[in-house]
Amino acid sequence: MSIENGDFAGGVAVITGAAAGIGEGLARRAGALGMKVVVADISGEGAEAVAQDLRDQGGEALAVRVDVSRPEELDRLAAEVHARFGDVRLLVNNAGIETLGLTWEIPAERWERTLDVNIHGVVHGVRAFAPRMLASGQPACIANLASVGSFGVMPTQTAYIMSKHAIQSFSECLYLEIQMTGKPIQVSTIVPGMVKTRIFEASAGAGEPEGAARHRAVMRDLMASYGMDLDAACRIIFDKLMTGVFWIDTQPDMTREMIDGRIAFLTQRAEPQLAPVARSILGLDN
């Protein structure tokens, strides 16, 4: 299905992880399109700052502190939003964290947090909101944040990569399930490439193994040098959302390269190998 700009305007957008990064960029873009924006984030202070900025620009926005790793908090969010605004036009399950380090060195707590936020936060976001969206019978959209990493591998980023593989397959299955209902709900997978955010800042690495700091610093510098501007990426995402497509990528060439590499790997039944750029990032060429 396709949602036109006029259908977004005036509708309600719920965006998780919206106090920073891509979530914040999408919240600001939704506000610019005339949507009522629910800025959901584990940082209540950060969410309120974004919501207040949207209100200062003449928009309508509500900040809600939500820990997406807790299903009951997503249930509370859905109930609160429905009671205050009614039907939701756009749900973006964006909240996610990056975890770096060797699989066996990452503490159990950090492993559980990563999987709970990156996977369960999306699953339970859909579970909490989809029943009301289906019952309304109105056009709506559910968009889940995947990544170009959904189609590749990267050692020491295993926790993040596997979570994004999971979200991609979840979104594909969800698309088919929604089709079975015959209801006018669009399902999209958002596949960002390298977009300038603060996901690799040192402060985001609390609980990671000591050796992860170098990798995090290298990725932060790469993103600063070569990443796409956040506002430009969010404009592309919304432009594609409004065409009703399933695939929404910010850098199609990057997505294509990752997918082509994955296809070749599976077709050839090859052993996993590091790409040259990955060897450089990991310091294995020294």
Per-residue pLDDT of 203-232, as tens digits, reads: 888 889 988 888 898 889 989 999 999 999
Q: Mean pLDDT over residues 219-248, rounded?
A: 94
Please give the distance of CA 212 from its chain centroid, rounded to a whole number.
22
Please tell me the predicted confidence (pLDDT) of residue 207. 87
DSSP H stretches of helix in the chain: 5-8, 21-32, 44-56, 71-85, 108-115, 121-136, 158-181, 212-226, 230-241, 252-268, 276-281
Instruction: Say yes or no to pLDDT of 1 above 50.
Output: no
The neighbouring-strand residues paired with 191 are 249
Active-site amino acid positions: 160
Cβ 200 vs Cβ 223: under 8 Å: yes
Please tell me the predicted confidence (pLDDT) of residue 180. 98
CA neighbor of 34 nearest in space, from 15, 52, 59 = 59
Cβ 124 vs Cβ 72: under 8 Å: no
Please give the distance of CA 88 from its chain centroid, rounded to a whole number.
18
Q: How many C-beta atoms lie closer than 10 Å to residue 16's C-beta? A: 28
Cβ 240 vs Cβ 181: under 8 Å: no
Q: What is the percent of the chain with per-residue pLDDT over 90, rounded to a whole number?
A: 83
Q: Mean pLDDT over residues 124-128, rounded?
A: 98
- Sign of dihedral through CA atoms 116, 224, 171, 84? positive
Please tell me the predicted confidence (pLDDT) of residue 182. 97
Cβ 37 vs Cβ 23: under 8 Å: no
Instruction: Say yes or no to pLDDT of 168 above 80.
Output: yes
Copy the structure tokens of residue 283: 């310091």
Domains of the chain with bracketed CATH: 5-256 (3.40.50.720)
Specify the pTM: 0.93
Sole residue written with tokens 């390269």? 257
Sole residue written with tokens 């209902």? 181
- Cα dist. 99→30, 202, 206, 242 in Å? 28, 11, 9, 32
Cβ 192 vs Cβ 249: under 8 Å: yes
Average model confidence (pLDDT) across the chain: 93
Q: List Cβ neighbours of 113 (8 Å cut-off, separation of 6 or more).
A: 69, 97, 99, 207
Please tell me the predicted confidence (pLDDT) of residue 215. 86
Instruction: Say yes or no to pLDDT of 283 above 80.
Output: no
User: CA-to-CA distance for 176 and 171, rounded, in angstroms?
Assistant: 9
Read off the pLDDT of residues 15-43 as tens digits, 9 standing for 90 and up. Answer: 999 999 999 999 999 999 999 999 999 99
What confidence category does residue 277 fall into, taking pLDDT thresholds of 50, 70 and 90? low
- Cα dist. 54→84, 86, 215, 216 in Å? 18, 20, 35, 31
What confidence category does residue 4 fall into, taking pLDDT thresholds of 50, 70 and 90? very low
User: CA-to-CA distance for 99 and 5, rounded, in angstroms?
Assistant: 36
Read off the pLDDT of residues 91-112 as tens digits, 9 standing for 90 and up. Answer: 999 999 999 999 999 999 999 9
